[in-house]
């Protein structure tokens, strides 16, 4: 409970209510025309029609009243209001509730990569940090690398962060620590990235800077419709990188959790290759993976 002492002043219209700590830096002088939308204490005090002005500085609140009432009839009520409001908002201004950010962990097909999914969007597009030396400009990745020696790569996309570990630990040993750290970082308003994210539809400059041929576009459309959503759910990204028409071979760029995944080749052979051979048998006979 905040304890307030009542002190008369030389001006009989003004009473001081003194706290045991400094309320604000500087001072506030408020009347009924002031914007008090972020000051609950002032809102409560001005509910009393006889309160003309409120002055807040250092460790006290001074209230100027009209002559229609005597202090002895109202001073205790005002003291109680001030104590209650300082208990709720010790620094006078409305304390906005921080947005709660929930994080949960998801396994990916790559046993070395874990996906940490947030309850809010982190960025529009994605940023991939393949090593500690490439983390400049991505504060979240820098923080993860600094906090966890075993972190090798960080992939941030939409509402998740995919972290790839080295072989010094198993995920069951460190998953909770990483999840908690990322949640705390985001909750405290930590910067995610200072560099522009790449767009999902054009993951690398080589793809951005060239137009697909008609055949490449057919392959890419099938990837985007039938393959990409599942891969993104696993914390990765897949795109058509190159197409060799002579050998009917499509080379796929794998990024995020899918990059370096032991099951990537099997997935491509058993799933994606079959899909492409089914939809465009005249174009694709083989699929190869290129780790991004």
Domains 5-88 and 205-291 are alike in CATH topology: no
Q: Are 248 and 269 in contact (CB under 8 A)?
A: no
More confident residue, 63 or 200: 63
Residue 34: partners with Cβ closer than 8 Å, 6 or more residues away: 42
Q: What is the band of 282 on the pLDDT scale with cuts at 50, 70, 90?
A: very high
Extract the tokens encoding 124: 């529009």
More confident residue, 254 or 69: 69
CATH, domain range 205-291: 3.30.300.130
Estimate the share of the chain in helix, then strand, then coil, as percent rounded to the nearest 5: 30, 25, 40
More confident residue, 189 or 270: 189
Q: What is the mean pLDDT of residues 3-16?
A: 91
56 phi and psi angles, rounded to 5 deg: -125, 125
With a pLDDT cut of 70, the percent of the chain lying above it is: 87
- As its CATH architecture, domain 5-88 has 2-Layer Sandwich (3.30)
Give residue limits of the domains in the chain: 5-88, 103-187, 205-291
Q: Are 245 and 215 in contact (CB under 8 A)?
A: yes
Asked if the model's pLDDT at residue 266 lies above 80, the reply is: no
End-to-end CA distance of the chain: 59
For domain 103-187, is the CATH number 3.30.1370.70?
yes
């Amino acid at each position: 409970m905040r304890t307030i002492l009542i002190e008369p002043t030389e001006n009989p219209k003004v009473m001081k209510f003194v706290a045991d700590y400094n309320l604000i830096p500087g001072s506030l002088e408020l009347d009924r025309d002031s914007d008090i939308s972020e000051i609950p204490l002032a809102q409560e005090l001005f509910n009393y029609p006889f309160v003309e002005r409120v002055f807040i500085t250092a460790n006290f609140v001074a209230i100027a009243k009209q002559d229609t009432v005597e202090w002895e009839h109202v001073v205790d009520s005002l003291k109680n209001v001030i104590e209650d409001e300082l208990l709720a908002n010790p620094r006078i201004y409305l304390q906005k509730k921080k947005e709660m950010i929930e994080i949960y962990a998801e396994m990916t097909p790559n046993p070395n990569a874990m996906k940490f999914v947030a309850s809010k969007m982190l960025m529009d597009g994605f940023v991939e940090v393949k090593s500690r030396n490439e983390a400049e400009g991505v504060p979240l990745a820098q923080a993860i690398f600094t906090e966890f020696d075993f972190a090798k790569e960080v992939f941030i996309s939409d509402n998740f962060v995919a972290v790839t570990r080295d072989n010094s630990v198993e995920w069951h040993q460190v998953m909770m620590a990483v999840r908690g750290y990322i949640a705390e970082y985001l909750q405290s308003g930590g910067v995610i990235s200072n560099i522009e994210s790449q767009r999902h539809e054009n993951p690398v400059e080589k793809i951005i800077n060239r137009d697909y041929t008609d055949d490449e576009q057919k392959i890419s459309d099938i990837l985007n419709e039938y393959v990409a959503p599942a891969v993104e759910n696993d914390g990765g990204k897949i795109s058509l990188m190159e197409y060799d028409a002579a050998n009917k071979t499509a080379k796929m760029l794998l990024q995020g959790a899918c990059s370096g995944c032991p099951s990537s080749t099997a997935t491509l052979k058993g799933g994606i290759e079959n899909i492409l051979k089914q939809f465009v048998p005249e174009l694709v006979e083989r699929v190869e993976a290129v780790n991004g």
